[in-house]
């Protein structure tokens, strides 16, 4: 599979977001024109552990050779045509080990990193470009330590990959949240109710903060600050009483927690990176409103419209920013490769495209700076001086 300059592999891992296909296209078009061959590894790290190192084997489910025709067809659509998974090659459950490897790897948890490296070598891949969030890129960081030439691209609608102000998918998520709020508020106003919208955000509240700052909600509660339910109820009742249409809106991060409480999980199963599945805090908040609101509404409880936005904000086509940034990130990754650089994460910092050591992904955490950006008394974004702030205000400090 050798070519004049070499072979570049690309994969997408973790949750889907709009902007992945434009990033794949940007990498592929530029790489092909620079004389590289591009191999798309399918199903993220799952494809990387599943490849059969036999030229006669059917590996069509695990990788494909990318061409301009293939990537141009998918570039304007959402999701990832290479498909994705939440596989963690360093800790693969026994039942999820590919069949061809089960005789060798038969423990409860199995480290298949060596198989990934062998498979990349068999494919002839000189540089690997993984696109993902902190889980996907944490394994990419390990590969980099083990001498795989990695140039990573940050992707997550939560916008919480450390080291960068922007991750692919975030802008579309914010746009969709604002759009859905504007749709749902017509029903909330018609019935004079509270509107509770639960959004993704396990450890970071950016997906709740930015729509609220843009006017999509009166209040928001985020993982970084445990909130008092009685205080939130009083604030929402105040907002409703002072609104001409007698309704009010709160956005709730899925990782938000009551004072004295913990995260709310939809079930007790974990993904490959050990995360329990979140979901349900919006339901609890809505139920609490019904019990508490009468106290602030002349003895009459207030009904609630409760909507978990979930996949509605991560599906569909990318917006303008999630079409432009992936294009730039893909080309920036190729710039690094053409200069022989690797072990890097492409980033946006203070409005400028740049790159950082990939180790930043695992050496720090990116969350909302509560003291700087969140008003704990008013349970909403803190408005201060906007001069010289980056595009999305809450940058990677």
Residue 158 appears among annotated catalytic residues: yes
* Euclidean distance between CA atoms 140 and 358, whole angstroms: 8
d(CA 254, CA 310): 9
- Among candidate residues 16, 126, 134, 158, the one labeled active-site is 158
The length of the chain, given as a count of residues: 397
Sign of torsion over alpha carbons 267, 273, 274, 280: negative
Closest by CA position to 151, among listed 339, 1, 22, 363? 339
CB-count exposure of residue 360 (10 Å: 0-12, 13-18, 19+): buried
How many alpha carbons lie under 13 Å from residue 335 in its C-beta half-sphere? 13
Per the listing, tokens 């693969």 go with 92
d(CA 223, CA 275): 15
Neighbours of 61 (CB within 10 A): 13
d(CA 188, CA 266): 26
Give the residue from 348, 336, 328, 19 showing the smallest Cα distance to 151.
Answer: 336
Catalytic residues: 158
């Amino acid at each position: 599979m050798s070519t004049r300059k070499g072979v570049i592999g690309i994969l997408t891992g973790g949750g889907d977001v709009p902007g992945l296909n434009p990033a794949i296209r940007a990498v592929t078009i530029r790489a092909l024109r620079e004389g590289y061959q591009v191999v798309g590894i399918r199903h993220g790290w799952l494809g990387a552990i599943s490849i059969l190192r036999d030229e006669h084997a059917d590996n069509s489910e695990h990788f494909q050779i990318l061409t301009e025709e293939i990537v141009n067809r998918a570039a304007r659509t959402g999701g990832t045509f290479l498909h994705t998974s939440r596989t963690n090659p360093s800790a693969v459950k026994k039942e999820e080990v590919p069949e061809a490897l089960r005789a060798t790897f038969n423990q409860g948890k199995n480290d298949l990193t060596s198989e990934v490296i062998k498979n990349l070598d068999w494919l002839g891949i000189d540089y690997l470009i993984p696109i993902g969030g902190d889980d996907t890129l944490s394994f990419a960081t390990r590969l980099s330590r083990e001498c795989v030439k990695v140039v990573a691209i940050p992707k997550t609608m939560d916008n919480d990959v450390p080291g960068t102000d922007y991750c692919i998918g975030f802008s579309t998520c914010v746009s969709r949240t604002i759009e859905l709020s504007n749709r749902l508020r017509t029903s909330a106003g018609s019935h004079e109710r509270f509107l509770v919208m639960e959004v993704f955000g396990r450890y970071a509240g950016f997906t709740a903060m930015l729509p609220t700052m843009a006017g999509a909600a009166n209040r928001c509660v985020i993982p970084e600050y445990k909130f008092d339910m009685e205080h939130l109820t009083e604030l929402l009742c105040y907002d409703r009483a002072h609104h001409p249409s007698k309704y009010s809106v709160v956005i709730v991060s899925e990782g938000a927690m009551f004072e004295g409480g913990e995260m709310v999980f939809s079930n007790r199963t974990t993904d490959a990176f050990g995360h329990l599945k979140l979901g349900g805090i919006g339901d609890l908040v809505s139920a609490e409103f019904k019990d508490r609101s009468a106290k602030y509404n002349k003895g009459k409880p207030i009904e609630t419209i409760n909507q978990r936005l979930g996949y509605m904000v991560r599906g569909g086509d990318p917006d303008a920013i999630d079409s432009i940034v992936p294009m730039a990130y893909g080309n920036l990754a190729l710039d690094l490769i053409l200069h022989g650089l690797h072990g890097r994460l492409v980033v946006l910092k203070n409005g400028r495209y740049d790159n950082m050591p990939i180790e930043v992904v695992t050496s720090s955490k990116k969350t909302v700076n509560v003291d700087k950006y969140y008003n704990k008394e008013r349970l909403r974004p803190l408005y201060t001086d906007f001069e010289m702030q980056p595009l999305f205000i809450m940058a990677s400090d």
